[in-house]
Amino acid sequence: MTAVIEIENLTKDYEVGFWRQRRVRALDGLSLQVEQGEIFGFLGGNGAGKSTTMKLLMRLIYPTTGGARILNRDINEIGMHARIGYLPEHPYFYDYLTAREFLVYCAELFGYARDECQRRAGEMLARVRLEEKSWDQQLRKFSKGMLQRVGLAQALVNDPEVVFLDEPMSGLDPVGRREVRDLIDSLRDCGTTVFLCSHILSDIEVLCDRVAILQHGRLAHLGRLADLRQNTGNRQMEIIVALADTRQMETALRRIPDSQLTPTPGGARIQVPAEQDVDAALAAVRACGAKLISVQPVGNALEELFVSERREENAASEIATRIEAKDQ
Ligand SMILES: Nc1ncnc2c1ncn2[C@@H]1O[C@H](COP(=O)(O)OP(=O)(O)OP(=O)(O)O)[C@@H](O)[C@H]1O
Ligand SMILES: [Mg+2]
């Protein structure tokens, strides 16, 4: 396996305040590698440092210390940037250009011939499933979801070998979300490496081979999703059902200790203390003839899991220390 993204001790302090006299460390000694062809999830809560990392890699801002290599080239080598793609968190568009004109303009920046730019513009807009009737409309008339698709199209216009996507699903409706998920998945077949930034586990869950979790600018975890899932056994789960006879369901749920049922206008919300209780709860739901709407963890950000894991680790080591002290 060859590493196509190599981040080495990357650190960023922002200077803040009116006189820029105060420093805030947004990223603290990040080191990691992403292999060729991987879809790599970059996770963390709000303000964890994800976008800062992306901007550093794109050279939109400069590191305080540390550096990185992409495709075996230092990120300061400008030529390498023609071989990668980037969807920023808050993309800026030229409002008065049409979607097609904007894409042609982006392709021209890579030096393609005029016909090739036109061809690529059409191919990319179709690929992100922007409706053809909108291709020749000005971007200022676009909805947020439509703009997000245009942003994605420009990130792919040069057939990048590595693509950096900062929250690509933001602003998309559920259908759009699924389409973008499928699109990212299709990049895998082309051998493209994807560095995907999100704080929503469900986006990552179906796509990513490996993930990194940032916490307050530090790398808190790096590994395969399957390994992370082993740590998620104690998650509280929420089950939403419709058309429920709540009385009957309440009785059925008594067999699950610490489960809770809250009636909703259309049915009920059931909370069970752990993932292993879900099967029993679903059996109760079925027995009552209710319709299943959704099953999801309560507070599903992966970072939260690691916060709690750390707390448990700390508590365990504290107890161990106390026991040792007692024994002496
Ligand atoms: N230009 C800036 N000047 C000062 N501080 C900044 C600047 N940009 C980001 N920060 C700070 O750096 C930290 C990391 O921000 P960053 O945008 O990288 O987080 P993020 O992980 O992308 O969060 P989100 O999920 O909300 O997008 C935050 O504490 C933020 O306030
Ligand atoms: Mg961000």
Residues linked to residue 65 through DSSP beta bridges, in sequence order: 11
User: How far lies 92's CA from each of 68, 89, 144, 171, 178, in Å?
Assistant: 26, 10, 12, 15, 24
Tens of pLDDT, residues 48-73? 999 999 999 999 999 999 999 999 99
Q: Give the strands of the sheet with 218-224, arranged side by side.
A: 84-87, 162-166, 193-198, 39-44, 210-215, 218-224
Q: Name which residue sits closest to atom 4 of ligand 1, judged by CA.
A: 14
Among 51-65, 154-168, 295-309, the minimum mean pLDDT is found in: 295-309
Single-letter amino acid, residue 245 = D
Return the pLDDT at 170. 87
Mean pLDDT, residues 18-31: 90
The pTM assigned to this predicted structure is 0.83
Question: Alpha-carbon distance 95 to 141, whole Å?
Answer: 8
Starting from the CA of residue 87, give the closest ligand.
Answer: 2
Provide the phi-psi class of 112: left if phi over 0, else alpha when psi is between -120 and 50, else beta: beta
Q: CATH number of the domain at 3-230, please?
A: 3.40.50.300
Would you place residue 33 in the very low, low, confident or very high pLDDT band (cuts 50, 70, 90)? very high
Q: Is the minimum distance from the CB of 110 to ligand 1 under 6 angstroms?
A: no
pLDDT bracket for residue 233 (50, 70, 90): low
Q: Which residue has the higher pLDDT, 188 or 316?
A: 188
Query: For ligand 1, atom 24, which residue shows the shortest CA distance?
Result: 46
Structure-token pair, residue 240: 């939403």
Work out which ligand 1 atom sits closest to the CA atom of 55.
18
236-297: CATH architecture: 2-Layer Sandwich (3.30)
Residue ranges covered by each domain of the chain:
3-230, 236-297
Give the alpha-carbon dihedral of 71, 76, 78, 81, to 10 degrees.
Answer: 40
CA 173 – ligand 2 centroid, Å: 20
Ligand 1 neighbour 44 (Cβ under 6 A): yes
Q: Are strands 210-215 and 218-224 parallel, antiparallel or unpaired?
A: antiparallel
CA 202 from chain centre, in angstroms, equals 8
**Residues β-bridged to residue 3:** 35
Fold identical between 3-230 and 236-297? no
- What pLDDT sits at residue 303? 53
Cα–Cα distance for residue pair 175/164, rounded to 1 Å = 22
Residue nearest to atom 25 of ligand 1 (CA): 46
Determine if ligand 1 sits within 6 Å of the CB of residue 88.
no
Residue type for position 320: A
In sequence order, what E strands does the chain have? 3-16, 22-35, 39-44, 65-70, 73-74, 84-87, 162-166, 193-198, 210-215, 218-224, 237-242, 260-264, 267-272, 291-297
Per-residue confidence (pLDDT) for residue 10, from 0 to 100? 97
* Whether 168 contacts 199, CB under 8 Å: no
